[in-house]
Structure 1
Amino acid sequence: MDETFDLSVEHPVDASPEDCFDAFVALYDSDRPDWVTGSELDLRVGGRWHVRFHPAPDPPFREERTLTDVHRGVELGYHARIQDDAGHERFATRVLVTFAPGAGGTTLRLTQTGFDDEATRDEFAANWPGVLEEVGRRAQRLGG
């Protein structure tokens, strides 16, 4: 039996799908929090997205992302190679974020697949809800 260690997170936001998409991208690119220490983005399918993180007290790391899905207000997907700060690859995953419109705004849905073990998946699963909440706060400000 093959065991998978995928994760899925959902968060409702009182904002448009387009504002949620823009807030997600900006969180890692132009309007970064302190724990995102660098970013270079080519926002197109096949584009590269280099992101550096330092989520203290954890050690710094980086993600080398290749964008697979870019539809503003609909979805954003990428393959990510997670590396230590020296550039040594730890593992690779695939992330897909969808922005589903609804009566109350937008439901952000994030799935991340390809984890090798439960502990690594759980490390990411512990952080994504807070990230999506922050995206929601920023999206609501964008929509004014």
Structure 2
Amino acid sequence: MVLSISWPDLSQRPFNLMVERKMECSPNVLYQAWTKQFDSWFAAPGSVLMEAEVNTTFFFETHFEGKRHPHYGRFLRLEQYRLIGLTWITGEGGTKGAETVVTVELKPRGNGTHLYLTHAGFPDENSRNQHEQAWPLVIEQLDKRMMPDRQGYRLKLQQEDDFKIVLFIFFDDKNKYLPYIKTNITSLLDYFIATSISKIYNYNRRNKRMVYLCYLLFYIYYLVYSMLWPLLFWS
């Protein structure tokens, strides 16, 4: 027997908001964050009770300024890597017990995602305004928390003279600039290889074969790197 989904009646609560943001994370990563990894970016660790199934209820809590803030809801719509629809109920200072509806749309944009979030059914204008200020910060935190690898691989641009050294390095005495080469060429290689493999991993995290392939690619890269580096710069 299939249970029908009871949608909240929002006709008497017309206060809504919409937030959008260009995210660095892929749709795959963001979908998992909203359905299976709430405690990685929003909820208090260990507080999440959630199964990503339509018409299934969930619970989690956040902690702020020494206070607990319980969140309740149920999934209304789930379209893998594309859309999450859920009810959102919090207490005083939040939705004030009203069953509101949050809809998150994920649209691929280049290497990232364009995220559209709508939140409908607030009990009053004040509640809507509070969430309108909070959601952009929460979405920004989501992007930062779910992309931990980007902090370790930032390609820092150097001054014009530094680039001239790289461009003309083989027309001069390479030993003179060897410390510079080791620092900057390896940073460039690490950045390119690591970001490429991490994108493959993020898009195929649920596929164990692809995960093992990513590990193998990392191993091959460092094996080849360790063999070629002495030949290039130690001769």
- Could you state the TM-score of these two structures normalised by the residue count of structure 2? 0.51
- Within-5 A mapping of 1:1-144: 4-26=14-36, 28-29=38-39, 31-32=40-41, 36=44, 38-56=47-65, 59-83=67-91, 90-141=97-148, 144=198
Which moves more between the two structures, 2-11 or 122-131?
2-11
Sort the Cα spacing of 1:134 and 1:24 in 2 relative to 1 into closer, same or farther, 3 A: farther
Matched residue, 2:177: none
How far apart, in 1, do the equivalents of 2:22 and 2:89 lie?
28
Question: Which sits farther off after the overlay, 129-138 or 110-119?
Answer: 129-138
- Count of aligned positions: 136
Give yes or no for contact 1:13–1:140 (8 Å, CA) kept in 2: no
- Bigger fraction of residues in helix: 2
CA contact (8 A) 1:24 1:135 kept: no
8 Å CA contact retained: 1:77, 1:95: yes
SS of 2:138 mapped into structure 1:
helix
Separation (CA, whole Å) in 1 of partners of 2:115 and 2:77: 15
- Which letter does structure 1 place at the counterpart of 2:103? L
Q: TM-score, normalised by structure 1?
A: 0.79
Q: Give the structure, 1 or 2, with the largest relative contact order (CA under 8 Å, sep 6 or more).
A: 1
Q: Which runs of 5+ in 1 are unaligned?
A: none
The Cα shift of 1:69 comes to: 1.2
Native 8 Å contact 1:36 1:51 kept in 2: yes
Q: What is the CA–CA distance in structure 1 between the aligned matches of 2:99 and 2:122, rounded to whole Å? A: 7
Residues in 2 aligned to 1:3 and 1:135: alpha-carbon distance in whole angstroms? 28
The answer (yes or no) to whether the contact 1:80–1:92 under 8 Å persists in 2 is yes
Structure 1 residues 12-21 or 108-117, which shifts more? Answer: 12-21
Q: Secondary structure at the match of 1:67?
A: strand
1:12-56 deviation digits (Å, cap 9, x = unpaired) = 112321112123345524x255x6362100111111111112222
8 Å Cα contact 2:100/2:121 also seen in 1: yes
More strand by share: 1
Same amino acid, percent of matched pairs: 22
Structure-2 separation of matches of 1:100 and 1:80: 22
Indicate the SS of the match to 1:79.
strand
Q: 2:18 and 2:44 mapped to 1: Cα distance?
A: 22
Matched residue SS, 1:65: strand
Unmatched runs of 5 consecutive residues or more in structure 2: 1-11, 150-194, 199-235
Aligned AA (2:68) = P
Amino acid at match of 1:14: E
